[in-house]
Amino acid sequence: MKRWAGKAARRWLLLFHRWAGIATALFFTLWIGSGLVILYVPFPALTQSERLAHLAPIAWEHVTVSPDEALAAGGVARVPAAFALEMRGDEPVYRITGRDGARATVSGRTGARLGPVDAEAALRLAAGDRPDARVEPVERDQWTVTARYDPLRPFHKVGLGDPAGTELYVSQVTGEIALDTIRFERAWNWLGSVPHWIYLMPLRARAELWRTVLLWLSGFAALGALSGLTIGIWRLRLRRRYATGAVTPYRGLARWHHLFGLVGGLGLGAFILSGWISMNPNRWFASSAPPAGMSAAYAGAPGPLGLDSRRLPDLAGPDARSVRFTAIGGRWWLVAAVPDGLRVVAPDGGRGPDTAALAEAAAAAIPDGHLRAARHLEAYDAYWYPHGTDPRPLPVLRLRFDDPAATWLHIDPRDGTILQRLDRSGRINRWLFDAPHRLDLPFLTGQPALRDAAQWFLNLLAAGIALTGLVAGWRRLGRNVSPRAR
């Protein structure tokens, strides 16, 4: 009975792997090829340096409205989630984001709350006097598909008509540039991020449906890969070889599929299984972004800034392109983006927050735990490391708490920004996803050439498995549907 059950189980395992492979081989091939593209061309996003490059230095002579007056005009009752002064064309404006996500734009010259931006104004803001620039309305497209852009919709997409094919997305709500893309990254993303994440706009616009589809598809593919690895090891004979003297019973293309699977099957299985984990099945893993309640508690409840507009140039610097007013631990700070980096000062001209102030504010944000350790990291380690094209700043302050989630906070010591919340589940996810999927391994940190070489080696082995499986599956389907087979 046991022998019959074992034989039946092996047969069903073979059948499952065969038909799972036929169903998913094309996806395997697309995921592998597109993953290599993502190594070099990320999904379009407006980086902080790009955003600042689109801004002119603040015209201080036109700033006559104080930050407190701007907050009142914006109708924000509590401490905002974001509050900044910068230029919108030739007009200084305060940009305010409430804790509920609502946006307000207030003129720094008149104190009036500014309304939506029309196409003509968007063209002027983004393109200036470029004669070949064109503008078109966009509610949602391939590059603005995710929910993070929802508060800024709809957009004016401004094509500059330059050789790079630059397109800028100007929010009709606020007038700010929310995204820039060039022809090169748009083209390569159709071979990279779009097929890798199945980022087709009609599907990705429905976030929960997209997540469900990816969970089931990647989960089924992971089972197919792991079943193949199991069969590959089971059919391998190193000592008591097959009659032909070979270590594999297969011939032709199936032989290559078996051998590629033995060498690269573990890597392929790790890639696919970790890809399934990246979709956060059953919500096992907490987000690395601090939740709204934690951010609000970290900010505290400061009173008015009490700043006259005439003092702002002296505090921020005459060449500042942006000034953020940020609350930490019940106190206001000014964070100015200047040519040589950031300038952080208190409204009274004092220096920026020190470690003690940051630790005190963070402790208020985690009331069910106590601060157990504070450490300044001067170099990357196993839990703070660069992510692809995101270098991540150094030094960074790590605060460790003994709350039930065992929370760690990584904070930028320059301006007090919480860069990452990493609880116990996040640290587990780091080893289940980042390590096998991105090869974010400690011994590869700081060695991009070696990391890329390892990615290419493992992906080429996986490509051998996928392509031989794809061709074998195509041949089997052809035999099954041919007239002779009927």
pLDDT for residue 423: 96
6-15, 116-125, 162-171: the lowest-pLDDT one: 6-15
CA–CA distance, 130 with 119 (Å, rounded to integer): 15
- pLDDT exceeds 80 at position 78: no
pLDDT value for 350: 86
Residue bearing tokens 């983004």: 126
SS3 label, residue 475? helix
Residue 67 pLDDT greater than 90, yes or no: yes
Is 24 strand, coil or helix?
A: helix
Residue 63 burial (C-beta neighbours within 10 Å; 0-12, 13-18, 19+): buried
What's the 3-state SS for 181-206?
ECHHHHHHHCCCHHHHHCCCHHHHCC
What pLDDT score does 486 carry? 45
Question: Which secondary-structure segment (H or E) carries 7?
Answer: helix 2-38
Residue 227 has pLDDT above 60, yes or no: yes
Task: Give which of 92, 83, 95, 82 is closest to 56, Cα–Cα.
Answer: 92
For residue range 425-458, what is the model confidence (pLDDT) as tens digits? 999 999 999 999 999 999 888 888 999 999 999 9
Burial class (CB in 10 A: 0-12, 13-18, 19+), 274: buried
Percent of all residues in the chain with a pLDDT value above 90, rounded to a whole number: 76
Judged against a pLDDT cut of 70, whether residue 6 lies above it is answered with: no
What pLDDT digit, counting tens, does each position of 119-158 carry? 999 999 999 889 899 999 999 999 999 999 999 999 999 9
- Could you report the per-residue pLDDT of 302-356, keeping only the tens digit for each? 989 999 999 999 999 999 999 999 999 999 999 999 988 899 999 988 888 999 9
Confidence of residue 483 (pLDDT cuts 50, 70, 90): low
Min mean pLDDT across 248-252, 360-364, 457-461 is at 248-252
d(CA 395, CA 408): 16
According to DSSP, the β-strands at 371-377 and 396-401 are antiparallel
Give pLDDT, residue 18.
Answer: 86
pLDDT tens, position by position, 346-389 = 998 888 899 999 999 999 999 999 999 999 999 999 999 987 66
Distance CA(280)–CA(25), nearest Å, equals 23
DSSP-derived 3-state class of residue 139: coil
Q: Indicate if the pLDDT at residue 283 is higher than 80.
A: yes
Q: What is the pLDDT of residue 104?
A: 94
Residue at token pair 């598809």: 217
Q: Choose among 378, 373, 383, 382: nearest CA to 393.
A: 378
Averaged pLDDT of the chain: 92
Q: Please give the average per-residue pLDDT across 77-82, as a whole number.
A: 86
The proportion of the chain whose per-residue pLDDT surpasses 70, expressed as a percent, equals 97
Higher-scoring residue by pLDDT: 476, 434: 434
- The model's confidence at residue 482, banded by pLDDT at 50, 70 and 90, is low
